[in-house]
Structure 1
């Protein structure tokens, strides 16, 4: 199903979704992480579906297999963008490409390996950003003992920060949290840690496969 027009919702029309799929896939032996199969479909496709109903336009940041990502994003009217340089400088370079390409007020960036993201991710990040008059809202989770874990590449970022981010990268900086610290940002807590589980390795991907397959196996046993 194609991504509905961003004019369908005033809230959604403020945000462009950005799937970050431009990494080296080092911990997957150099494989393109977003194109690895999960439940018979590319991992990135699961993530696109999670955010397509939450935002207006969609972008996919990729540096390899551009035709494959364009085909993956076509049903959602997603456009593929690339880093300005080809040396894989990290997620901030993908975010910069998204900020440059976006025509909306904000960009919601998510990694290509988090297929269970919350259905209310965008609305909660936007509400927190607006309430705090911030430049960025970053997702976090809190465990049973109150330990906070930040998920820095799951964030809603003001598009006007593009020039500042470009200068930061030009200076050789790469750390995501350090860049956020330059701006007013807010951490937004989510209760479900599993929603932010990411598949960094083939082992992680196999764990995700088992998790998704468990309900099917349970139904077969009924």
Structure 2
């Protein structure tokens, strides 16, 4: 089986950072987006960037830029749908997503997600960790799910489109509906994301 396509999710409004693109912030002399590309690129068969607004600001990165097709900043699922539609045009059957503001995610992200999907009719898996977090989504098993990091099937894109048009925004409500699984990663800090200036300072410390 060929590797999935990769989609970097950068469609949010970055309100806690004062607006703009968090992925274009510099971390250790490199943009966070370039770090995410370097980490995800070797794991997938091709990359696209989900972002809204003028795609020209990402011209230096050489990636296809796919905007949300659902209006009104409908959340990460709108970015997943944009990625699934792009993948369908490429003839692919699945994608793996990663957030553009999360520079330290695992180098084996794709392999672990795919392993967890074994036996599923439609591969649908979210990354998860153990530990404490107030802003993440906890599953019934007590794991912390990271909904912007997942394996998604192209076959369910029309179902996702209908759910988004009905107003669904919470990722795990949709994945649970379709028998989504969790892939557990041992490092609870691997999915640390940069939301605020303080987070950026902490990321510099983590990098050092």
The TM-score with structure 1 as length reference comes to: 0.83
| Aligned positions of 1:168-179 closer than 5 A | 168-179=163-174
Deviations 1:115-155 (A, max 9, x none): 111111101111111244453011101239x9521111110
Query: Hey, what does 1:149 align to over in structure 2?
Result: 144
**1:111 equivalent among 94, 99, 107:** 99
1:161 has 2:156 as partner: yes
Give the match for residue 183 of structure 2: 188
User: Going by fraction, where is helix more abundant, 1 or 2?
Assistant: 1
**Alpha carbons 1:63, 1:86 under 8 Å: kept:** no
Cα distance change on mapping 1:205 and 1:139 into 2, 3 Å: same
If you compute each CA radius of gyration, which structure gives the higher value, 1 or 2?
1
Which residue in 1 is equivalent to 2:79?
94
The answer to whether the Cα contact below 8 Å between 1:62 and 1:69 also exists between their aligned partners in 2 is: no
2:77 and 2:157 map into 1 onto residues whose CA distance is 10
Larger mean Cα displacement after TM superposition, 202-211 or 48-57: 202-211
Which residue does 1:130 correspond to in 2?
118
* Aligned positions of 1:1-222 closer than 5 A: 10-12=1-3, 15-72=4-61, 74=62, 78-102=63-87, 103-143=91-131, 148-212=143-207, 214=208
CA distance in 1, matches of 2:118, 2:58: 32
State the partner residue of 2:136: none
Deviation at residue 85 of structure 1 after TM alignment: 4.1
Shift of 1:64: 3.0
Distance 2:5 2:20 in 1: 27
Unaligned regions of 5+ residues in structure 2, if any?
133-140
- Cα distance in structure 2, aligned partners of 1:56 and 1:156: 14
